[in-house]
Chains A and B, each alone.
Chain A
Amino acid sequence: MKNYYNSIEEFNNVPGQEEEKFEKEHKSAVLELFEDDIAKKPSSRRDFLKVFGFSVTSAAVLASCEKPIHKAIPYVIQPEEIVPGKALHYASSYFDGHEYASILVKTRDGRPIKIEGNTLSVFNGKGTSARVQASVLSLYDDARLKAPLSGNSPISWDLADREIINSLADINNSGGEIVLLTSSIISPSTKRLIAEFGAGFTNFRWVQYDAVSYSAILEANQQVFGKKVIPDFRFDKANTIVSFNADFLGSWLAPVHFISSYTSRRKLDEGQNDMLRHIHFESGMSLTGSNADQRIPIRPSREKIILANLYNKIADALGKEVFDVPECDLDIEGVVAELLGNKGKSVVVSGTNDTSIQLIVNAINLLLGNYETCVDLDNPLNLANGTDAAMEDLLKDLSAEKVSALILYNVNPAYDFHSSEAFVAALSAIKLSVNMSTEFNETVGLCKFECPVHHYLESWSDAEITPGQLSLTQPCIHPIFDTRSFQDSLLTWSGVQTSWHEYLKNSWKENYFPLSKQSGFEAFWTGSLKDGVYAYSGEKLKSPEIQYGSIAAALESVDPGQEEGFEVLFYPSVSLGNGKHSNNPWLMELPDPVAKLCWDNVAAISPMDAEELGILTGDVVKLGENFSIPAFVQPGQAKGTLSIALGYGHSQAGKVADKVGVNVYPFAKFIGGNRKMGFSISQIEKSIDKVELALTQTHHSMEGRAIVRETSLSKYLKDPASGNELHAKHESNHQTLYPDVKYDGFHWGLGIDLNSCVGCSACVIACQAENNIPVVGKSEVQKRRIMHWIKIDRYYSDSPQQPMVVFQPLMCQHCDNAPCENVCPVSATNHSSEGLNQMSYNRCIGTKYCINNCPYKVRRFNWYRYTNNKAFDFNAVSDLGKMVLNPDVTVRERGVVEKCTFCAQRIQETKLAAKLEGRAVADGDVQPACVQSCPSNALIFGNMNDKESKVSKMKADPRNYHLLEELHTLPSVGYLTKVRNVEE
């Protein structure tokens, strides 16, 4: 082909030059930037644009790709026992001054994340309460005091110690009184330390103070038996329980301990076919009252008359002395007959803090011979030591400025003492005042020095719950803040060089090691630490002669009680207890098991009074001149009474607790040597204000549906399937077009004994802790968006005046024919080969169709982003609060559906562990969080393919039924009918 040219220049060009020119013109503009001599070249406008474009683009690209940096700091020296991703369990003990539990602390990568009951403990076993379960979150509370303070300014420990030691010495030299005010101390070593500390001063007093006092029981037993103790109530040995205002299944003394012994006599499996009968007298509707076979609403002031009449009738029948007491308008013949029929096998118990009432209770138990068996004074519960009079005396001395130094430990009198104002006023006049507290609370800032103490998960301690039953508390994490244990502070201030850890070890070496008959102390010590508990047979207290004088005095002075007006009663709630842990968001959002209310306290009013006064739930009522509080119409509330939960209305406890509800502690009264939790008013006034309460259940009737099936003991004994007749009918109707699905290997199932479940709600918090369930706050709960995967449904039957109550734990039923599964458009929820209804969060697009089509409505939706969202600043925003998260469970994103997984992560972990050990998974190896926490063993989990497993036996029980079984959803969760011990 001929060569054509465009111009004469082109014609003249040498062929080689052309390539060069082409290269120069067409070379990548970007590559040019990387040439060596680019910096030397003169830059043109085009170069500028190139550089500009390149750098802006690359800056934009790089900036948009950057992810937030989280630093993971590795161990410099890897601790031997820590394997990343593997949980370690440490045995420890929980005691907050009120409630005790022997526990196992699950730690992951050095962080405590879950509390379990210690199965070696004879006191609580594997069971825990909601409050114990939630205590791990309090460790990561942002509101905790982080360092010592002098007044309101930070101070170093050294300086604080020097000043405190100097001023203690000054006071001691001048003969001033030094008072140590603590909550009840059950640690024997701490008691020894306090004794030693006190011995260093000439004028020292130790006062123990309980926010919720059991002083009357202590006093009454002191007067009658010469022992200032609280007996252990052995419900497991009793055939009849008659209780008065004692919520022993909810919040009174040791609920977990009592639930397990109570329900052990309410079960109808393994050949057991008798039940204890429980008759309960009370004013408010408590958890215990809800579980009673017979519940009689009474005014609090009538309690003494009823007890006195009960005494007289029993004494009369037994030919003992009868006293002249006002007549009782209640028919108690049945109760009398019941008790007389079970002499020595019954318990009469009252929770009222009134010595004369407790004296009459003692008298009745004495008449019935219950101290031989069911009311154990020899192994008393070492839970509360505070006497109200001692605190009252202290206040008097404080006000009279007789006290020179006051050291507070684990008490919050500025919040929970009835004369808190006087107390606070007296504090300022004291020469030296030191406050030692873990929590941030109302008392903080009132003393000269704040010496914050470790959380119990950071501390060493021991506890002796009943004589001879010891347990140890060991630190499971390095102290997060600049805190120091109470005992270390005492040791420092008394000039002793040893650390509290050493002291504790020595104390055990001297006192308990010799009893153990073991050869080496280290082995004894590590063994005790590993087990968490150690039992020895201590010396029994000598029982002096029984003194009947005070009983007679109590019975002779029974006043006629109050007929008119309202009697207001305060009670520690199941969720918040005495208010010490109110800033714990899990507890704050735990609905009261009976009222189904959270994020508020209310005045529970009887339906009759409410109707008379035209009061509806949510109406704000004015209680005399005292305070205003929302009313709550509570079926079962005694007429003429109001019940208000303690623990609310904090002013300085943290972002969760502050300004929630009303603090009613200041309205308690010191009457007749006891603190009375309540007051009387002539009338209540309805105001025009109305508030919306955060209720998690608003419909209370089962509408005649066979949801909770129940029967009576007599009917059950005739026909074990009584009350459950529908089950056989529905089973016979099950038809399907599809082939049966076979589950090889495992087929997981859960059995729930409605007779054992008392509704304590420990499972709810256990589940929340295990599964990273977010707290959503009051307004979201009001919108009925609580996230709990397990909830306790509560239904009333019979009249609103005297309702019967049933509880039903409800979680995902893991239906083998699940309605949720086939409607998900993206198969985000599906069925596993082991019968689990699974949820894959990554796949979920949030259509909520599964929520709608679930007949049990147990699926939860992430309406908002609950993590790292300032609008939900409870515990999932700060880095500290998020330390409680379980790394085995995904934190769910906004917009996805979640629900109970049967703790799939635990199933997997157990299966892997069994595989490594080369064995089969044994029955009971897998315990979902709810099952593990249950104090009454009402929940049983296992493999339904294994016919010998507990759960299979439960499913074969004639009492077993499935919820809404007529829908052919084939749930893996079964319920056993509730059996009441009533005549029918």
Chain B
Amino acid sequence: MKKQKKKIIYFFYYVAAVILAIFAIGPLVWMVDTSFKTNSEVLSYPPSWGTINALPSRSLTADIIKTRAGQSSNPSALSLEALLGSLSTAQTTTLASPDTIAIHVLGASGYRGTGTMPRRGILIISLINNEGDLASYPTKFSTSDFNKVVNQISSISPLSTDVEQSISNLSQYISDPQEYILNFYDAFLYGPNPIFSRINFISNLLNVNGSSFQDQLAIFKKGIGPLTGIELKEISKILENALNLTTNSNAKTEISKYINDIKLYLDFDQFYEAQKQTKFDQPIELAFILKSNQLKIVKAPSVVESAYTSGDQIYITFKNTSFVWFLNDSVSVKANYNFWEVLANFFDNYVSAWNSAPFGIYYFNSIFVAVATTVLNIIFDVMMAFAFSKLTFPGRDKIFIAIIATMMIPYQVLLVADYLIIHSFGWINSYYALIIPWSATAFVIFLMRQSFNSIPNDLYDAAKIDGASSWRFLWTIAVPLSMPVIITGALLTFLGSWNSFLWVLIMTDTANMRTLPVGLQNFIINSGAIFNQLMAAATFTMIPVVIAFLFFQKYFVSGFFRSGIK
């Protein structure tokens, strides 16, 4: 009966302990979890534990670059020397050849370190047409067909002024069909101010006077990207209806202009699509090459000649075909990784965090400074505590209280004066500045004094009669008897030194004198923090102290007990 009751009580104890433990280490577990995530996963909602970094494959969102401007290499991907080089010759950066397609991987390396496209593994790139099949390209391009369609569309009239302007601009490219096609789509759909951009085109239509189709058209204003072929056909139908109903002659000519605009585009688009006869027989598989911009072609259709990457773009060069044939297509990019690559992905944040600041030096400094501070602390604190506990001299207790009172001083105000003193010693930017000022701690002295108080005075008197000096008594009897307190004090001072930040920042000027908390600061920037790398760095900063605690925790607990606060 009684045992049963006890069991129930223990059950509640464990429930309470588990709740407290979750409260205590939950955030830390989350911290470690975050340290493995990619940028875009860090702030995902609802929060999830997993990360695609642990998966052997992932799909990346990507776009085909559809304009000429986007084709040339992006200045943000250039090195400083390359940029300076290109400036000194007063040339723009070289344009990619028209044979090359550029794919912008949206999940690629961002500004905050590595992004969601690690530069390893195999990329499987499929160009996909409107129907969801692999895309096609022409093998036999007939110039006469091209001339025919150009003639056909230039005979359409009347046209709205924008379109008229564009068509006359295009006439300069008649000798170069590829350029013509590229600039045609630039003008109508994909350029900076395209004719069929939703808001402009529909707004223009809505401004046409005395017609009754406004309500039907307004919905086309809402949508993503420029108007599609299907939508244009629908608009054209609505307009034709309106043309029949309208009596106003002014409106009639206006509407017919727009109908012709659409017809012109649709005619050309039909010609363009009809040219593509050969379908890709397989996706393009590319592999990253270490420390190189070139991509290795693993498996690809014969038209693919070579591939390279620059910044967040992938360039694929074709033989016998051109990128202009893929303007209306979309792209899907999938990345596959082998076991080692998954491992590398998984620890990516740790590697980038470690490399983003001289963490090796920081680590050494942190350990050296913390150990030295701790050792000095133990020597000085033990001496002082012993004097307060076992020796008699005038003003002993007053000095003790004065030492304890230092715990109450907010140290932020002492910084400037401390800096002045340390400067006058010539210690700025040296280990002395990090170690000496912290080599005596009031709280530890207090603990040790309590501990020494619990050693019977008789023992001390007996030792004195035996001829032992107070110094010898201290180190051979008192200190071994108070070992747990000393370990406790050591752990506390070690922790204090390990986590100190502002002090280190102000007292040192160079990276080789700085410690880990300063390194952590590197991931906090004006507009926020690089969470995943910060958490990775925080994790590897914390590990030594946690290990130290695991080793010494037994002493640590009995340390306070021995200090005999009673």
Q: Do A and B bind each other?
A: no
Interface residues of B (CB under 8 A from A): none
